[in-house]
Amino acid sequence: MKIYHNPRCRKSRETLAIITDSGANVKIIEYLKDTPSANDLSVILSKLNLKPEQVLRKSEKLFKEEYKDKKLSDQAWINAMVENPVLIERPIVVKGNKAIIGRPPENVNRLL
């Protein structure tokens, strides 16, 4: 199991706590420091069964200033997230061929 984690985010910390409390092995990836590649993001999106635009943090200042009202291709959104990982919704938890967004944190129970 992997968690794409931001330790400054309360929801991310809560999701990680649920995982560790369950005793599951988890690899923590601080995605702001260790940003997934475009290919990795494509795979994660496939496991989430979501389009790139659906995992954007639209409340981020950067999104509002640079991307709001833009109509980009899926690949262009992925590239924007790789260049600006703050735009990636968090946390994302991946286990095998499945993934969830930990909002609310209890969503992770579907993977445990």
- Confidence at residue 103, expressed as pLDDT on a 0 to 100 scale: 95
Residues 6+ apart with CB under 8 A from 98: 47, 110, 111
Taking residues 79-97, what's their average pLDDT?
98
Predicted local distance difference test score (pLDDT) of residue 53: 96
In this prediction, residue 88 has a pLDDT band, given cuts at 50, 70 and 90, of very high
pLDDT grade, residue 12 (50/70/90)?
A: very high
Q: Once rounded to an integer, what is the mean pLDDT over residues 69-86?
A: 97
The DSSP secondary structure of the chain, one letter per residue, reads -EEEE-TT-HHHHHHHHHHHHHT---EEEETTTSPPPHHHHHHHHHHHT--GGGGB-TTSHHIIIIITT----HHHHHHHHHH-GGGB-S-EEEETTEEEE-SSGGGGGGT-
Sign of CA dihedral 94, 1, 41, 92: positive
Percent pLDDT > 90 in the chain is 100
What are 25-71's pLDDT values in tens digits? 999 999 999 999 999 999 999 999 999 999 999 999 999 999 999 99
CATH number at residue 45: 3.40.30.10
Which active-site residues does the annotation give?
9
Q: Look up the domain containing 32 and give its range.
A: 2-110
Q: Domain count of the chain?
A: 1
Residue-averaged pLDDT of the chain: 97
